[in-house]
Structure 1
Amino acid sequence: MDRIAITGGAQLNGTIPVSGAKNSAIKLMAASLLTDEPLRLTNMPRLADTRFLGKLLTRLGVQVTESDGPDGQQTILHAPEITSGFAPYDLVRQMRASFNVLGPLVARSGQAKVSLPGGCTIGARPVDLHLQALEALGAKIDLHEGYVYAQAPRGLKGAEISFPIVSVGATEHAMLAAVLADGVTVIHNAACEPELADLQDCLNAMGAKVEGAGTPTITITGVARLQGATHAVIPDRIEMGTYAVAAAMAGGEVRLTNARPGLIDALLDKLKEAGAGVEPTADGVIIRRNGHRLESVDVETAPFPGFATDLQAQFMALMTTANGESRIRETIFENRFMHAPELMRLGADISVAGGEARVRGVERLEGAEVMATDLRASVSLVIAGLVARGETTVSRIYHLDRGFERLEEKLGACGAQVRRLKGDGEAEL
């Protein structure tokens, strides 16, 4: 099993291009099930998660072609017909977002059998809201032996959908199903993350009629069919925020390009409060820190536009060497401090009680062997390793490969001493 080794102490200086957003790309790929014409997605990241979903879509009848096009990395998805409505457990379990094929399958072909995604290391994350949305649209839902059987032989019908709590995945799923429903669907208490607006833009380019994504109320007027389209995936705000934190942690000056700093204003405000330099540019942002120690600041995760839960682990790593004590409150997931014990193996002073972590900054971290517990936690350990004395080795980095494209290459181009170790412990050439 591969590992990543980081030798700490090098500043970061250079340019890092931000890839397309993983969390957006995988939902846009699912949209290909809604039309018999090709959907061309540009600015596509090449990740374990996109490969997992590509395998599942291929099983369902989608022709998936990856290439380098005139706009950079692209994926063309073409489903002239749905050859199977069955999404088995062995594929869905690899990435819970695969569950979102259920709505498009029912919307287009009237039926589907999709595995429940199973547990998640960062919390329960149930799919009951997804199923309630589909039932509101007229689908008949049966649960049996770990599978969801959904049927709407006469098609889905527009409906009022009111979510009791904000859910990004359920909002996206409802959108994907409702675009082919007969009539008008209104989604209340919708998630407002920028990935929702990206999905809306793509669906509308395909001929859908969706309004309001990015606000708490989304209105969808169903259409009889969708067509092919070309759509550019938005920049990955979590990758952008991660490299911004890495630059603040290691010191130096890093220019992030192909980025939209407005998507991470909450993080950038906290970086400035801690003492890092933040300078927006025409195509991204510059992060700099030259010599001085950062100050501790408190953060609390919240739905967009608040501080993203997917940046919480990275920011905790930053605070481990800041001056003073910071409090980090996690309000989105109930089990998302599993990275804290691993940071403590590097010498961090952290105590966790319920949904709050207290981080008391130390003068120096020490390299050690640590283990990734989930996608975002894995990169927080890499960030800490950038300043830890000696060598830090992060194992179980298959988590990291799910959401960060060419991480070693991007950090290495800015001067970081980071390399991937093959399963036998030898460095890859």
Structure 2
Amino acid sequence: MTDDVLLVHGGTPLEGEIHVRGAKNLVPKAMVAALLGSTPSRLRNVPDIRDVKVVRGLLELHGVTVRGGDVSGELLLDPTHVESATVADIDAHAGSSRIPILFCGPLLHRLGRAFIPGLGGCHIGDRPIDFHLEVLRHFGATVDKRPEGLYLEAPQRLRGAKIELPYPSVGTTEQVLLTAVMAEGTTELRNAAVEPEITDLICVLQKMGAIITMDTDRVIRITGVDRLEGYNHRAIPDRLEAASWACAALATGGNIYVRGAQQQPMMTFLNVFRKVGGAFEIDDDGIRFWHPGGALQAIALETDVAPGFQTDWQQPLVVALTQASGLSIVHETVYESRLGFTSALNQMGATIQLYRECLGGTPCRFGQRNFLHSAVISGPSKLQGAELVIPDLRGGFSYLIAALAAQGTSAVHGIDLINRGYENFMQKLADLGAHVEMGG
């Protein structure tokens, strides 16, 4: 167990206002995109989270000057003097982040070579980098796998390619975008991911001078250009964090105004939130989420890639579903190991049964592969405080919600992991009236 333990005294509805800034799944990628520019970039609405610090460190190792702007949440990135970094330095800075793989395309364009250390990230399922390497080979890169990591070279200028992904992977779609924009000729990407953060990254690249079209059938076409300028961009707000706080309001019987939340990227979530029995109100500055009283309704739900119900929304919602009347069914189709966190909820008094079968009709990669990827949740359950060890980012926040909804005190271990994706969450908990304290 790690030393960073949060004692949570549950049973109090969360009420008040918090502010959500730029999306964790966009901001670090937009920072990498600045490498492609011949002039400085300005990125606004940047959250103070660990992934941002990791990418900032990696950019600085490669000669990019990164400094804060005149206002909070603003970064100025100057890539004028890009250079190679040492293997040891990159290894030390990368830590557990998976972002370094996205440096490949930009570094190949700028320097003709790149080194990527072994990759970390949350352990929620198999996320091989083979997609990424195959894509880079399509563009003409050579990849040399060595014990310390991957060495890539571009003997000539990278060339556009026709690529079809076996699955609409977000990371691989980002890789294609960051590589294709300066590759010679045209790139056609089929079965691309179309998350709002992907669209926002395309907006960043278009501001820099890229030529990118998005078709309605998951096809993205990129015409390579010789030169890109810097950008001035305000990052899309974090719809995944906003949904986490919405679920916290529902599970604790609370009322939370999420300043910065936007309706359009959350439409799928909002529909489900309403079906469960949650209430929300949208204005120009954010969304208010609350539990209107009465019983919550059990639902059947399947996660999917965008525009479906996001897998990152699933874990916080499952906690709220433990308080719904009847049997809820959740079919996880994106990450095979994402329901493992439910064992801790059962320890707290929930009744959740996991199944290897696909409990739903959405096409699924896991049905015949022996993964526990469907859940049946019987509620409502009276949750009790417990000792909890955080398994991953979203699962960790879900444990926090469960502890806040439970009667009694919970000790939540490994709380520092939540800092990866939730800016200043301790202050936000205090602002919402949560009774929490750091333990020894």
TM-score range, shorter chain: over 0.9
Partner of 1:324: 326
Whole-angstrom distance in 1 between the partners of 2:258 and 2:382: 27
Partner of 1:100: 102
SS of the aligned residue for 1:180 comes to coil
What's the CA shift for 1:294? 1.2
Deviations along 1:135-183, one digit per CA (max 9) or x if unpaired, are 1111122222252222113211112111121110000011001111111
Q: Is the 8 A contact 1:157 1:183 kept in 2?
A: yes
What's the CA shift for 1:187? 1.1
Matched letter for residue 329 of structure 1: H
What's the CA shift for 1:215? 5.8
Partner of 1:392: 410
Structure 1 residue 365 corresponds to structure 2 residue 367: no
Change (3 A) 1:283 1:214: farther
Deviations along 1:287-337, one digit per CA (max 9) or x if unpaired, are 121332312212111001111111111111111122112111111111112
Partner of 1:195: 197
Structure 1 residue 171 corresponds to structure 2 residue 189: no
What's the CA shift for 1:113? 1.8
Whole-angstrom distance in 2 between the partners of 1:336 and 1:363: 21
SS of the aligned residue for 2:412 comes to strand
Matched letter for residue 407 of structure 1: F
Change (3 A) 1:50 1:223: same
Whole-angstrom distance in 1 between the partners of 2:306 and 2:48: 25
Whole-angstrom distance in 1 between the partners of 2:121 and 2:26: 22
Structure 1 residue 356 corresponds to structure 2 residue 374: yes
Report 1:46-125 matches (<5 A).
46-67=48-69, 69=71, 72-84=72-84, 88-117=90-119, 121-125=123-127
Q: Is the 8 A contact 1:193 1:214 kept in 2?
A: no
Matched letter for residue 396 of structure 2: S
Q: Is the 8 A contact 1:186 1:217 kept in 2?
A: yes
Choose from 236, 239, 246 the match for 1:237: 239
- The number of equivalent residue pairs is 420
Q: Which runs of 5 or more structure 1 residues have no equivalent in the other structure?
A: none
Deviations along 1:12-43, one digit per CA (max 9) or x if unpaired, are 22222211100101111111211242111100
Whole-angstrom distance in 1 between the partners of 2:275 and 2:430: 28
Whole-angstrom distance in 2 between the partners of 1:143 and 1:191: 27
Out of 278-287 and 305-314, give the one that drifted further: 278-287
Partner of 1:279: 281
Out of 250-259 and 320-329, give the one that drifted further: 250-259
Q: Is the 8 A contact 1:196 1:213 kept in 2?
A: no
Matched letter for residue 117 of structure 2: S
Whole-angstrom distance in 2 between the partners of 1:147 and 1:301: 33
What's the CA shift for 1:380? 0.2
Change (3 A) 1:367 1:240: same
Out of 373-382 and 281-290, give the one that drifted further: 281-290
Report 1:188-337 matches (<5 A).
188-212=190-214, 216-337=218-339
RMSD of the TM alignment (CA)?
1.8
Matched letter for residue 347 of structure 1: G
Report 1:114-193 matches (<5 A).
114-117=116-119, 121-193=123-195
Partner of 2:422: 404
Partner of 2:398: 380
SS of the aligned residue for 1:22 comes to coil
Out of 132-141 and 208-217, give the one that drifted further: 208-217
Change (3 A) 1:122 1:185: same
Change (3 A) 1:252 1:336: closer
Q: Percent identity?
A: 37
Deviations along 1:62-106, one digit per CA (max 9) or x if unpaired, are 11213452xx41111212122215564443341012211111111
Matched letter for residue 73 of structure 2: Q
What's the CA shift for 1:214? 7.8
Deviations along 1:331-352, one digit per CA (max 9) or x if unpaired, are 1111112211121222111121
Whole-angstrom distance in 1 between the partners of 2:148 and 2:393: 25
Change (3 A) 1:272 1:371: same
Q: Structure 2 length as normaliser, TM-score? A: 0.91
Out of 190-199 and 1-10, give the one that drifted further: 1-10
Out of 215-224 and 310-319, give the one that drifted further: 215-224
Out of 82-91 and 247-256, give the one that drifted further: 82-91
What's the CA shift for 1:261? 2.0
What's the CA shift for 1:120? 5.0
What's the CA shift for 1:6? 1.9
Q: Is the 8 A contact 1:52 1:94 kept in 2?
A: no
Partner of 2:434: 416
Whole-angstrom distance in 2 between the partners of 1:141 and 1:126: 15
Q: Is the 8 A contact 1:197 1:213 kept in 2?
A: no
Q: Is the 8 A contact 2:344 2:388 kept in 1?
A: yes
What's the CA shift for 1:388? 0.6
What's the CA shift for 1:118? 5.1
Matched letter for residue 84 of structure 1: S
Structure 1 residue 22 corresponds to structure 2 residue 24: yes
